[in-house]
Structure 1
Amino acid sequence: MSSTFPKWYDFFMGPLERGKFKRVRRDLLKSATGKVLEIGSGTGVNFPLYRNADHVIAIEPSQNMIDQSQSKRQLAVVPIEMVNASAEKLPFEDHTFDTVVATLVFCTIPNVDEAINELKRVCKPNGKILLFEHVKMENTVLSSMQEGLTPLWKKICDGCCLNRETLQAFTSQGLKIERVEKFYKDLFIVAELRNR
């Protein structure tokens, strides 16, 4: 990740994060209970929104993002621990977490299948996985546009892939969907899954 991307991320995402996204995140994170792992915490936008968790361990591979997240960490009402690590190699024992949270991160993870396998490994049996992600759209015209834009978009936005079929990647690895909501003509999804 470049050193400039974290500085601009909050600026460009600010209008969405102060509006619809904040409500979406707050509603999703109500279900984050017990010991929570957040995958790719970025600039820490979720930190002040946790209310029902006992403890949150947030992993982030970019030290620049970790540094930028400290101000939001100070606003948290639950303990937040930061760990510099990647989703494909989580430094935790099997069955450690009651809830795993991933918000707008699976678009940039280099190896999605490895990350999901690791997530399943560290999540307790029957534990919750909470997702808020942008995904490949069902509309063929719009999904074709996503395919065409992805190579350039990845360069501009630090590896972000517009055309990931993230929910399908989770279900193909045996995770059970309990709830799905779609926003902005199915560009964004919120999902709750179980580690079964």
Structure 2
Amino acid sequence: MGRNFSNWYDFLMNPLEKRKFNMIRKELLANATGNVLELGSGTGVNFPFYKAAEKVTAVEPSEHMIKHSLSKIKQAFVPIEVVQASAEELPYEDSSFDTVVATLVFCTIPNPEKAVMEMKRVCKPGGKILLFEHVKMENRILASLQDLLTPIWKKICDGCCLNRKTLELLESHQLKITKVQKYYGDLFVYVECQNQS
């Protein structure tokens, strides 16, 4: 991620965070237990919401985002380690984590299919995978608009794709989806999964 985008990210997201996202994050991350891995931790917005975890390892590919996240570690209730790494090549052994978390990150991962495979690999069998993502909408007109806007949006928002089918991607990799909640129509989804592998 570019320096400019990381500088403005929290400011631009603040209205959504205050209105709804903080509540969603709080509910989702209450289920993050044991040894937790967070993919694409960005500016560390999730860090203060971890209460039930023993430890959180947060991976983030952007050094600029990592710099912005360090101050939020002080707001955390659990130990947090930030590691510069990509979701497609996680530097961890198989079955290392009890819970894997991803929030508003699958839209920007260059190879989301590889990231799901890695997420499954490092999550213990029977472990939890928790996501909050924006996805391609079911309404055909709105979905077409997302397709139309994505090339421009990617340039403006540092690679963010408006039209990712993340829920379908999870299902295609045999993750057992135990809960789905939709927000703002079906633009945003809250997903709880169990790793069956």
**TM-score band w.r.t. shorter chain:** over 0.9
Structure 2 counterpart of 1:6, one-letter code: S
| Residue in 2 that maps onto 1:35 | 35
**Is 2:115 the partner of 1:123?**
no
Tell me the CA shift for residue 27 of structure 1.
0.4
Q: Secondary structure at the match of 2:64?
A: helix
| Residue in 1 that maps onto 2:63 | 63
| Residue in 2 that maps onto 1:173 | 173
Q: After superposition, where does 1:2-151 map in structure 2 within 5 Å?
A: 2-151=2-151
Structure 2 counterpart of 1:138, one-letter code: E
Distance, in Å, in 1 between the alignment partners of 2:11 and 2:178 is 34
Summarize deviations over 1:54-79 as a string: whole Å, max 9, x none. 00000000010000001111100100
| Residue in 1 that maps onto 2:157 | 157
Distance, in Å, in 1 between the alignment partners of 2:173 and 2:32 is 22
Distance, in Å, in 2 between the alignment partners of 1:140 and 1:28 is 29
Structure 1 counterpart of 2:89, one-letter code: K
Q: How many matched pairs?
A: 196
* CA-based RMSD: 0.5
Structure 2 counterpart of 1:114, one-letter code: K
Summarize deviations over 1:16-50 as a string: whole Å, max 9, x none. 11220000000000100000000000000000010
Distance, in Å, in 2 between the alignment partners of 1:32 and 1:134 is 20
| % identical aligned pairs | 63
Structure 2 counterpart of 1:145, one-letter code: L
Which structure 1 segments of 5+ residues have no match? Answer: none
Q: Secondary structure at the match of 1:143?
A: helix
TM-score (norm 2): 0.99
Q: Secondary structure at the match of 2:38?
A: strand
Distance, in Å, in 1 between the alignment partners of 2:115 and 2:183 is 25
Distance, in Å, in 2 between the alignment partners of 1:185 and 1:94 is 36
Distance, in Å, in 1 between the alignment partners of 2:147 and 2:47 is 32
Structure 2 counterpart of 1:67, one-letter code: K
Q: After superposition, where does 1:179-194 map in structure 2 within 5 Å?
A: 179-194=179-194
Tell me the CA shift for residue 173 of structure 1.
0.7
Which structure 2 segments of 5+ residues have no match? Answer: none
Structure 1 counterpart of 2:180, one-letter code: V
